[in-house]
Structure 1
Amino acid sequence: MYSQIPTNIITGFLGVGKTTAIQYLLNHKPVDERWAVLVNEFGEVGIDASLMGNEQQATGVFMREVPGGCMCCAAGIPMQVALSQLIRQAKPDRILIEPTGLGHPLEVIRVLQQPHYQDVLDLRSTITLVDARKLSDSRYTENDTFNQQLQVADRVVAHKADLYNGNETEQLIHYLQALGSDAPVINAIDGQLDPGWLEAVSQHNNVTQPEASHQHDHFQANDEIPECGYLRKDNQSEGYYSSGWIFSPEFEFDYSELEPLLMGIDAERLKAVFITNEGIFAFNMADSVLKVQALDEVMDSRIEVIGNEPSNWSGLEQQLLQIAARYSYFTRTEPPAPAGS
């Protein structure tokens, strides 16, 4: 029914700017094409769809999220379900897949090469974003996922190049050579990827490596918010932990207290969307830099933090509740008069 949809993987480690890059590509897609985006997040609470504007059917963009770790786990079932829904509903001219920064792109490629996708998907170039400054940090260079993301790349983007101070790009080229990769390296800033880079055919169309053994622990499966008005969900894998909260839209947060609270969180990664007394805002923190963006609309408020030490945000839930007012139908109206009055 569908024939050979060009499909690209946009990968890279936590906080490297994958979402920003995909936003840029979506803003520069041909106006007459329908693009589908499949986003995977390590945390159990999906944020990226809100940051990208969720489904933008009027502009030919369709999105699905697979939260909760590596979407290729459990024989790739979560990924296959979401991907099949996108293909059926969007009938896209191109598919972009963003695995989590802690995901395993080699296994994503393996799922895409299964027989039932052979006549449907045309696997094009895998683009890996990397902050070349991280090569001086053994937490990255000794991480198998970080290295795998570079090894599967058809093109490596040295992102955030405006922040480099010296020969970081040259060091990246030498590092790739040591990994056995001859992928071209291009500097970029602010997610500005050339859409033409998507067209090259992937060099990894015949994955033969054995399947990696790994698992993610999921503590809560559904997003049904209890009567208290908020829900917490946690995840852990490969030495990283995530905590996420979803707050009913009845909660309104004090912006003047919210922003400094988020700036003070000690975490590897933070993403959030909040309904505040000054409007709706997205918050995105990487490398201890918090960026804020105004949004038009969200379904609810939610936040996800990821790092090595969950104790660093152990009091976050109580702090958020302290700066939030819950406005509901019951608190906005007068209580009913006593019977017989």
Structure 2
Amino acid sequence: DYRELLTAGANLCLIDPRHLSDPRYTGHDTFNDQIALADVLVANKTDLCSDEDLAAFDALVQSSQPAKAQSVRVEQGQVEAALLALPSNPERLQLSDHGHHHHHSKEAAAPVALEAGESLRRLESHGEGHFSCGWLLTGDWVFSLDALRHWFDQLDVNASKVVRAKALIHTDQGHYVLNWRDGVLSEMPTRALEESRLELITELKSDADALESSLLRCRSHG
């Protein structure tokens, strides 16, 4: 539908070099497929990287076949738009077959949503060495943004070893996208939402009841 309106530029892959020493990433098919697909490798968060991390990124660039069009180092995801104009290698679109079959069609499963009259639903799962715990919340509920910030701050001391947390949520200061990783919370205003969503990815199974109770205490009742 968009073929006559949009042009695909070079494919950029954003990498946190600190993960290049972690076999959970380097041994993961999706991680390696994304690197193989990229025309440009971008090392992000370089201000937080050690010399060893950056050397691992440089080694990855040097070992990539076919060679990448370019590699860059950035901070805060500040990527130059000019990189999109670099040549793209169509052969990189032919990803190796790891036995995964992705079907993108109108028959794909519909997103999980709350049923009529339902205000909250908790979803839990695990796989590939991690656990996830998430909530669907009615958009009628309004959460205190300051209380949510404190709730995310407490994830650093959570016994389940939180790897990442993200939310699309209705707050008393508007609707927000929240992303937490490595102890840092980023915030971005977003459009109005019919329902709020929040998910945690952890290394160990979390105490979902305790997390849910503390989350619900962040609701604004003003």
> What is the TM-score with the length of structure 2 in the denominator?
0.75
Measured on the aligned residues, the alpha-carbon RMSD in Å equals 3.4
- Cα 1:312–1:137, aligned 2, differ >3 Å: closer, same or farther? farther
Secondary structure of the corresponding residue to residue 315 of structure 1:
helix
Runs of 4+ in 1 over 6 A off after TM superposition: none
Match of 1:138 among 23, 26, 31: 23
* Separation in structure 1 between the aligned mates of residue 92 and residue 67 of structure 2, nearest angstrom: 17
Please tell me whether the aligned partners of residues 150 and 176 of structure 1 are also in contact (alpha carbons under 8 angstroms): no
- Cα 1:221–1:131, aligned 2, differ >3 Å: closer, same or farther? closer
Q: Could you tell me how far 1:287 is from its partner in structure 2?
A: 1.5
Match of 1:259 among 146, 149, 161: 149
Equivalent position of 1:162 in the other structure: 47
Q: Could you tell me how far 1:157 is from its partner in structure 2?
A: 0.4
Equivalent position of 1:113 in the other structure: none
Q: Could you tell me how far 1:128 is from its partner in structure 2?
A: 0.7
Equivalent position of 1:247 in the other structure: 137
Equivalent position of 1:187 in the other structure: 73
Please tell me whether the aligned partners of residues 269 and 286 of structure 1 are also in contact (alpha carbons under 8 angstroms): yes
Please tell me whether the aligned partners of residues 37 and 95 of structure 2 are also in contact (alpha carbons under 8 angstroms): no
Q: Could you tell me how far 1:252 is from its partner in structure 2?
A: 1.7
Deviations along 1:188-208, one digit per CA (max 9) or x if unpaired, are 122222222212342243655
Q: Could you tell me how far 1:269 is from its partner in structure 2?
A: 1.5
Equivalent position of 2:115 in the other structure: 225
* Separation in structure 2 between the aligned mates of residue 263 and residue 253 of structure 1, nearest angstrom: 16
Instruction: Give the number of the structure with larger relative contact order, counting CA–CA contacts within 8 Å between residues 6 or more apart.
Output: 1
Deviations along 1:276-332, one digit per CA (max 9) or x if unpaired, are 3344433211112112344564433221222333425553223222332579xxxxx
Secondary structure of the corresponding residue to residue 251 of structure 1:
coil
* Separation in structure 2 between the aligned mates of residue 208 and residue 215 of structure 1, nearest angstrom: 14
Equivalent position of 1:63 in the other structure: none
Secondary structure of the corresponding residue to residue 91 of structure 2:
coil
Please tell me whether the aligned partners of residues 38 and 92 of structure 2 are also in contact (alpha carbons under 8 angstroms): no
Secondary structure of the corresponding residue to residue 246 of structure 1:
strand
Please tell me whether the aligned partners of residues 251 and 326 of structure 1 are also in contact (alpha carbons under 8 angstroms): no
The 5 A counterparts of 1:264-275 are 264-265=154-155, 266-275=161-170
Q: Which amino acid aligns with 2:187?
A: V
* Separation in structure 2 between the aligned mates of residue 295 and residue 262 of structure 1, nearest angstrom: 19
* Separation in structure 1 between the aligned mates of residue 162 and residue 168 of structure 2, nearest angstrom: 17
Secondary structure of the corresponding residue to residue 162 of structure 2:
coil
Equivalent position of 1:238 in the other structure: 128
Please tell me whether the aligned partners of residues 245 and 302 of structure 1 are also in contact (alpha carbons under 8 angstroms): yes
Equivalent position of 1:151 in the other structure: 36
Aligned residues: 211
* Separation in structure 2 between the aligned mates of residue 226 and residue 193 of structure 1, nearest angstrom: 43
Please tell me whether the aligned partners of residues 123 and 134 of structure 2 are also in contact (alpha carbons under 8 angstroms): yes
* Separation in structure 1 between the aligned mates of residue 57 and residue 119 of structure 2, nearest angstrom: 47
Deviations along 1:70-129, one digit per CA (max 9) or x if unpaired, are xxxxxxxxxxxxxx5xx28xx6324xxxxxxxxxxxxxxxxxxxxxxxxxxxx5422111
Please tell me whether the aligned partners of residues 252 and 325 of structure 1 are also in contact (alpha carbons under 8 angstroms): yes
Please tell me whether the aligned partners of residues 166 and 199 of structure 2 are also in contact (alpha carbons under 8 angstroms): yes
- Cα 1:314–1:155, aligned 2, differ >3 Å: closer, same or farther? farther
Please tell me whether the aligned partners of residues 9 and 88 of structure 2 are also in contact (alpha carbons under 8 angstroms): yes
Please tell me whether the aligned partners of residues 168 and 198 of structure 2 are also in contact (alpha carbons under 8 angstroms): yes
Deviations along 1:148-203, one digit per CA (max 9) or x if unpaired, are 32222211001112223435333312133345453232011222222222123422
Unaligned ranges ≥5, structure 1: 1-83, 95-122, 328-341
